[in-house]
């Protein structure tokens, strides 16, 4: 913990971090006190989709604050109604939107809806929540139980029989991605062992970004949709990180043309300019709860905040108007080609990603652990003008959607240079 401030700061894994004071930002760049500018290749915390100081978002916030500074979540505002309609449309239509405050709180709301719905239908025994063993869905409240990734497990959190973690699409031991047939067999075996009659819902991220940038094989989400339909399990797709253009489509599940029962959203919904999250709920589920008069009793003071909703509407407008989903899809090839320069580095185990979500996984080398090497590379990246995120031996990269070609090349070059420098130093020291 820092000794020069009263603010408590730790990294992803609860480790102390060096003081890094950000004094200002513009676009994708930030000024670090006492140092030069650096590019935020992690979009702040996977949320700053349009960079700092976007004049249209600043204007939207100022206008909204001047007009309606707050609105109770038990009331309606023009901004909250308009955004709900817009989100439903982007998702394919016929969804009801329940607002929350953060991605974790959105996942808690979704969990409560799934369980209440089955109870309303006379099946209270369906309360077990499934999620993946490399998943991250938040670390407060019940969301901490949904999270499956051990590295982000809250210390002292007890196990609960109502939350079970099943295999992700990638074997963390071998580094191999399971085939669809293998995944089907594993999933069906898990469901049979637990009992479909006891399972309320399945949470899935289209990409386990925090869990190691695990990209499942094509057809994985369709497989989950098929199994959830067969076994009457509510499919909840967590798009908190992957949503709003980061995958090259509005939502990552749209790459497989499925319809989730619920979609949770946060982070990029306001491009990071205001705390806001949401759960989109298929209207059939909403109607079941209303018909059986089962209230949610979930009121979050700042949920549906009119300023946040106004900013979200403007952020969506900018992404659509500027063709940023297509730009992200085009950048994917540029980033992949750039990383080819270090694909054979002896300190790297794998490079994987798509859209604006990438992971560089390191390996033990010459007496140094993968985690130590990743941390060294992250520090070197920062020295080379690029801020990345390192945890559990993996560096994660997810730049703003509106990164320019020049900035994209700079980001790639800074990372390639950093990995090469560290690899050379370790080889010389061996």
Query: What CATH number is attached to the domain comprising 367?
Result: 3.90.1150.10
For residue 60, tell me if it sits in a domain: yes
Structural domain contains residue 34: no
Does residue 2 carry a pLDDT above 70? Answer: no
- Do residues 225 and 168 make contact, with C-beta atoms less than 8 angstroms apart? no
**In the structure encoding, which two tokens stand for residue 27, read together?**
């676009």
Q: How confident is the model at residue 4 (pLDDT cuts 50, 70, 90)?
A: confident
Note whether residue 361 is domain-resident.
yes
Cα–Cα distance for residue pair 19/4, rounded to 1 Å: 9
Q: What is the pLDDT of residue 429?
A: 63
147 and 294 part of one domain: yes
For 170, phi then psi, to 5°, come to: -125, 135
Question: Which range marks the domain in which residue 158 is found?
Answer: 55-321
Residue 9's pLDDT band, with cuts at 50, 70 and 90, is confident
Q: Domain boundary residue among 321, 340, 373? A: 321
Instruction: Convert 275-308 to b/e letters by CB count within 10 Å (16 or more is b).
Output: bbbbbbbbeebbebbeeeeeeeebebebbbbbbb
Across 80-91, b (16+ Cβ under 10 Å) vs e yields beebbebbbebb
**What is the structure's pLDDT at 13?**
63
Q: Three-class SS of residue 33? A: coil
Q: Could you report the per-residue pLDDT of 105-154, keeping only the tens digit for each? A: 999 999 999 999 999 999 999 999 999 999 999 988 999 999 998 877 77
Looking at the domain assignment, is residue 49 inside a domain? no
Q: What is the pLDDT of residues 318-355, one digit of tens each?
A: 999 999 999 999 999 999 999 999 999 999 999 999 99
Do 282 and 151 have their domain in common?
Answer: yes
Residues 6+ apart with CB under 8 A from 115: 126, 127, 129, 200, 201
249, 336: one domain: no
**Is residue 186 located within the same domain as residue 228?**
yes
Domain-located, residue 374: yes
Residues 169, 248, single domain; the answer is: yes
**Is residue 35 one of the residues assigned to a domain?**
no
pLDDT tens-digit series, residues 31-89: 988 778 999 999 999 999 999 999 999 999 999 999 999 999 999 999 999 999 999 99
Mean pLDDT rounded to a whole number for the chain: 94
The total number of residues written for the chain in this structure: 430
Residues 67 and 83 in one domain: yes
The whole-angstrom separation of Cα 413 and Cα 233 is 45
- How far is it, in rounded angstroms, from Cα 423 to Cα 394? 15
Mean pLDDT of 361-384: 95
Indicate whether 218 and 232 sit together in one domain.
Answer: yes
Q: Are residues 267 and 370 in the same domain?
A: no
Distance CA 397, CA 134 (A): 18
Domain boundary among 274, 297, 321: 321
Closest CA to 102 of 261, 265, 246, 211: 265
364 and 287, same domain (yes or no)? no
Total domain count for the chain? 2
CATH number at 230 reads 3.40.640.10
The answer to whether residue 1 scores a pLDDT higher than 60 is no
> Contact, 130 vs 164, CB < 8 A?
yes
| 64 and 121 co-located in one domain | yes
70/199 same-domain check: yes
Q: What pTM did the predictor assign?
A: 0.95
Domain check: are 225 and 362 in the same one? no
Residue 31 lies in a domain: no
Query: What span, in angstroms and rounded, lies between the C-alpha atoms of 274 and 315?
Result: 11
Tell me if 414 is assigned to some domain: yes
Mean pLDDT of 285-294: 96
Cβ neighbors of 76 (< 8 A, separation 6 or more) are none
Confidence of residue 14 (pLDDT cuts 50, 70, 90): low
Domain stop point among 321, 349, 370: 321
**306-321 vs 324-339: helix axis angle to the nearest 10?**
70
198-215 pLDDT, tens per residue? 999 999 999 999 999 999
Interval 25-36: pLDDT, tens = 999 999 988 778
Alpha carbon distances (Å) from 12 to 4, 333, 370, 375: 21, 29, 16, 12
């Amino acid at each position: 913990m820092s000794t020069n401030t009263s603010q408590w700061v730790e990294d992803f894994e609860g480790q102390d971090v060096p003081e890094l004071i950000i004094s200002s930002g513009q676009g994708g760049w930030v000024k670090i006190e006492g140092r030069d500018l650096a590019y935020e290749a992690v979009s702040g915390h996977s949320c700053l989709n349009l960079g700092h100081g976007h004049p249209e978002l600043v204007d939207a916030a100022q206008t909204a604050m001047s007009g309606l500074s707050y609105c109770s979540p038990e009331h309606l505002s023009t901004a909250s109604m308009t955004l709900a309609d817009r989100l439903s449309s982007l998702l394919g239509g016929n969804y009801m939107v329940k607002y929350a405050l953060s991605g974790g709180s959105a996942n808690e709301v979704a969990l409560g809806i799934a369980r209440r719905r089955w109870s309303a239908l006379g099946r209270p025994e369906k309360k077990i929540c499934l999620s993946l063993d490399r998943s991250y869905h938040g670390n407060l409240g019940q969301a901490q139980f949904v999270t499956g990734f051990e590295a982000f497990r809250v210390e002292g959190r007890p196990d609960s029989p109502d939350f079970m973690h099943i295999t992700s699409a990638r074997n963390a031991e071998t580094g191999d991605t399971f085939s669809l047939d293998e995944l089907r067999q594993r999933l069906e075996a898990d469901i049979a062992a637990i009992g479909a009659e006891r399972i309320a819902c399945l949470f899935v991220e289209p990409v386990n970004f925090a869990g190691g940038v695990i990209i499942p094989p094509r057809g994985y989400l369709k497989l989950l949709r098929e199994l959830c339909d067969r076994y009457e399990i509510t499919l909840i797709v967590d798009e908190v990180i992957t949503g709003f253009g980061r995958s090259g489509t509005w939502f990552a599940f749209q790459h497989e043309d499925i319809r989730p029962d619920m979609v949770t959203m946060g982070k990029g919904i306001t491009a990071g300019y205001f705390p806001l999250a949401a759960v989109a709920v298929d209207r059939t589920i909403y109607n079941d709860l209303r018909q059986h008069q089962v209230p949610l009793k979930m009121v979050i003071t700042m949920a549906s905040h009119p300023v946040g909703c106004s900013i979200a509407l403007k952020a969506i407008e900018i992404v659509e108007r500027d063709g940023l989903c297509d730009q992200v899809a085009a950048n994917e090839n540029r980033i992949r080609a750039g990383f080819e320069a270090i694909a054979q580095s002896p300190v790297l185990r794998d490079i994987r990603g798509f859209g604006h979500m990438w992971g560089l996984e390191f390996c033990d080398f010459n007496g140094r652990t993968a985690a130590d090497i990743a941390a060294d590379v992250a520090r070197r990246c920062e020295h080379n003008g690029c801020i990345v995120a390192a945890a559990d031996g993996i560096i994660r990269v997810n730049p703003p959607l509106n990164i320019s070609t020049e900035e994209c090349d700079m980001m790639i070059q800074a990372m390639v240079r950093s990995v090469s420098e560290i690899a050379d130093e370790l080889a010389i020291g061996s």
